[in-house]
A and B are shown apart, each in its own frame.
Chain A
């Protein structure tokens, strides 16, 4: 009897730690191209349901880091774990099947396909975890429902940015990597982008957000990781990070 109670307690505590541990953990990951150390020994975790901001000056290695997670590049050393599984050497399509979707900084749509078919590719090939999704709902969320029968190549840049997000959502991911969704938007469009980000979060998705627009960064994220020259230089809440000396030095010299 006592043993059973003990076992239960242990199991319960295990469950608790499980939910607190990271969905995604980056464990000492490095990547160099030729002689350039793009990413050097970076370690951090992403908790379930949080929005993690990834910040850094131009060329700091933010996009490279996303590419490492998404399987476009393989790290030279270190491990990447997603939901406890080692995905370090997985190809991009398998990583998508496991539940990581990404958007591109410069939109990369399927230009000859209709907007809704762009989503259909991700829904039919990327969603391997049950749950059929209402693609119209996703299109509605990003304000593209009216343009669903437009050829993606004919969309304006702002709409293409949203199509990136919609396509990422269409593969029904648990973790979304957003590479500068707000970049290039006008001041007036920012509240809507923030709103969309919040809605995505409400859907229970975990988000890694790379962003230059400070307003989005400060308002949307729980935690920020700052990298500079491929190394992690700070980690904390937006408030903490903004006052960090290393961060100020990286940005203002």
Chain B
């Protein structure tokens, strides 16, 4: 009986999520101001990144400090592709695939390191790639005598609405993927690894394979999000593509929202997007204020906003509402 109740609740949650998705998808059609679409586009990109960062840090125990490598590689792959006649749609997927391939190549050395060593090991990767792309220029003319920047060709005709839909699809996919993983055997294994790697291994969990699965999934979707961003902002430089802010955004969103919870990155990404546009005019002060917020959150509510909401029982009311609604549906 309890199980069936849970199932019903789940179905209603799905219904609500689909409804929200449909409403969001309608936004470009009903004449929402373009600036709003712009904000939401950023929100979706940050959300996808934060979701994947949460999958790694919150559910697998991998403090991965190299999202910038995945974003930059995917962006560069797509951008360079458009210069040799690869359509950007193919480039988008190819970029994500290259990000995943990079994750596969680095997995063997970085997975040999644990905890903080893994974090430091991954931190240097975007910096190394940044240096590499400063000099490497496979196609096109020299750019200020060196490698460096590329424009993304052939994306000028895409409307903001279309880009918005693309970002929405990627964000929705990232939520869906995490949702499925957590309810599958993989999620149980990943949580076990996060809680206690030794016990997981002695209970039969193939640590390397599971970490790799989650790492590859995260790299692929982060790559998608990165490439989608560079369709919107159609030029990429090493400094921007491999910028540390690609790490700070998902990290802040996840930590503020609540690491290791499904709703955490959603709440966090909304806050981070809001802050980013609110503080856009204040330059360096913006980073300072964001830093203070991060410190306060870590000290006051280590489980993030999602953890705080759970602790004060904020979910009880909507849950009751859901249950009541289910009861009515059941009766009719």
Residues of A within 8 A of B (CB): 70, 72, 91-93, 95-97, 101-102, 104, 108-113, 117, 120-122, 124-128, 167, 170-171
Contacts and interface: CB of A to CB of B under 8 A. Distances in A.
Given A93-B207, A124-B185, A110 B192 contact: yes
B202 A125 contact: no
Contacts of A111: 195-196
A113 B185 contact: no
B203 A122 contact: yes
Contact of B200 (A121, A128, A170): A121
B192 A93 contact: no
A171 B199 CA distance: 12
A46 to B, nearest CB: 18
A141 to B, nearest CB: 18
Contacts of B204: 93, 96-97, 122, 125-128, 171
B205 interface: yes
Contacts of B189: 121, 124-125
B198 A121 contact: no
A92 B201 contact: yes
B292 to A, nearest CB: 29
A117 B189 CA distance: 10
B198 A167 contact: no
B326 to A, nearest CB: 22
Interface of B is mostly: helix
Interface in B12-31: none
A120 B206 contact: no
Contacts of B206: 93, 125
Contacts of A126: 203-205
Interface of B: 185, 188-189, 191-192, 194-196, 198-207, 260
Contacts, number: 79
Contact of B202 (A102, A109, A117): A102
23 contacts: A72-B201, A72-B202, A92-B198, A92-B202, A93-B202, A93-B203, A93-B204, A93-B207, A102-B202, A108-B199, A109-B196, A110-B196, A111-B195, A120-B188, A121-B192, A121-B203, A122-B204, A125-B185, A125-B205, A126-B203, A167-B203, A170-B203, A171-B204
A160 B199 CA distance: 13
A24 to B, nearest CB: 16
A230 B191 CA distance: 36
Given A93-B207, A121-B192, A110 B199 contact: yes
B69 to A, nearest CB: 28
List the 5 closest pairs (A to B, CB-CB), nearest first. A126-B204, A96-B204, A110-B195, A92-B201, A125-B204
A109 B194 CA distance: 11
A125 B202 CA distance: 10
B63 to A, nearest CB: 17
Contact of B205 (A108, A113, A117, A121): A121
Contacts of B185: 124-125
A113 B191 contact: yes
B308 to A, nearest CB: 17
A72 B203 CA distance: 12
Contacts of B207: 93
Given A104-B198, A113-B195, 16 more contacts: A92-B202, A93-B206, A93-B207, A95-B202, A96-B201, A104-B199, A108-B198, A108-B199, A110-B200, A117-B188, A120-B188, A121-B188, A124-B188, A125-B189, A125-B192, A167-B199
